[in-house]
Amino acid sequence: MSGKDYAKEIIVPKHRHDFYQLQYLVSGSENLIIGDKPFTMKPNYLSIFDSNEYHEYSFNKRSRIVDIKFNMVSDLRTLLDDLFNKSVFLVEDMMIRNKFSQLTDQGIYFQKSEDRQILINIDTQVKLILLELAHSTAPEPMLISSEKCPDVDTDSNDPVALMTQYMFDNYSEKITLDILSQKFHYSKSQIINLFSDQKHQTPMYILQKIRLQYAKQLLSETGYSIGQIANEVGFNNNYFTKLFLKYEKQLPSEYRTAKQKESHEIILNTSFDITTQP
């Protein structure tokens, strides 16, 4: 992570790298090209580059950016598909802007720290901010198993789309066929038939997969206990462990251990050499 000033007319030529990169423009103006798409960055704009994605940028005036280079597990990258597809957007939420400011202060303050817990904490904050951004910029950032959640138009007359969106929005709450029936004015048998015809699955199966996907995210990115995670996603602890084992073929604790081995901490460095890794 770095907070870096760029002088006017500085040019960083076309390049790519095998990690992910996020830039948040604090002040100034940046001309950015991602792939073959040009963008003009203004203050409070954020850009995010995929691994091995070509990009280049230059500056119209003296500019300051927060630059974060990081790795992440494949499950989290999948959750952020819509964020990477959008590439550049304005961060309008003042709370998220403040979090970037606080994150930069922490990164600079702890840049020489060898305390693994501090580095993991900062790394986790980065990824939680990305998840917040994905939620605020994309209507359907979550997944069902390995398939992308279907597009949901909240003005649609498609009851399956509306009920699926409801499950995504309220996965941590109690959801039953009775509740869906009361809210959407279909009988329980009609709901089952609608999902069977369109999804070839029951609505409760879809709900379980949504909850498990969120649980996997929490297992990978937080230090919450298994019981806490079960409660967060709407399960009781024993049923969560049984269901996780059924669908993932491993215990939640085993999944967490495997993902922690795959993950990499964020690089904290205020003098990152842009000539070698811009």
**Model pLDDT for residues 49-93, shown as the tens digit of each residue:** 999 999 999 988 888 888 888 888 888 888 888 888 888 988 877
97 pLDDT band (50/70/90 cuts)?
A: confident
pLDDT at 268: 42
Hey, is 58 helix, strand or coil?
A: strand
Domain 143-235 has CATH 1.10.10.60: yes
Angstrom distance (rounded) from CA 14 to CA 31: 12
Within the chain, all domains assigned CATH 1.10.10.60 are found at 143-235
Q: Are 214 and 229 in contact (CB under 8 A)?
A: no
Tally of CB atoms within 10 A around 62: 14
Tally of CB atoms within 10 A around 98: 10
Q: What is the mean pLDDT of residues 11-33?
A: 88
Question: What tens digit of pLDDT does each residue of 125-162 get?
Answer: 888 888 888 876 543 333 333 333 443 444 457 899 89
CA atoms within 13 A of residue 49's CA, in its CB half-sphere: 30
Question: Three-state SS string across 98-151, please?
Answer: HHHHHHHHHHHHCCCCCCHHHHHHHHHHHHHHHHHHHHHHCCCCCEECCEECCC
Mean pLDDT over each residue of the chain, to the nearest integer: 79
Question: What tens digit of pLDDT does each residue of 235-248 get?
Answer: 988 899 999 999 88
Per CATH, the homologous superfamily of domain 2-137 is Regulatory protein AraC (2.60.120.280)
Within the chain, all domains assigned CATH 2.60.120.280 are found at 2-137
pLDDT at 141: 31
Hey, is 25 helix, strand or coil?
A: strand
Among 19, 109, 7, 128, which residue's Cα sits nearest to residue 68? 19
Percent of the chain residues topping a pLDDT of 70: 81
pLDDT at 108: 63
**pTM attached to this predicted model:** 0.48
Angstrom distance (rounded) from CA 13 to CA 56: 5
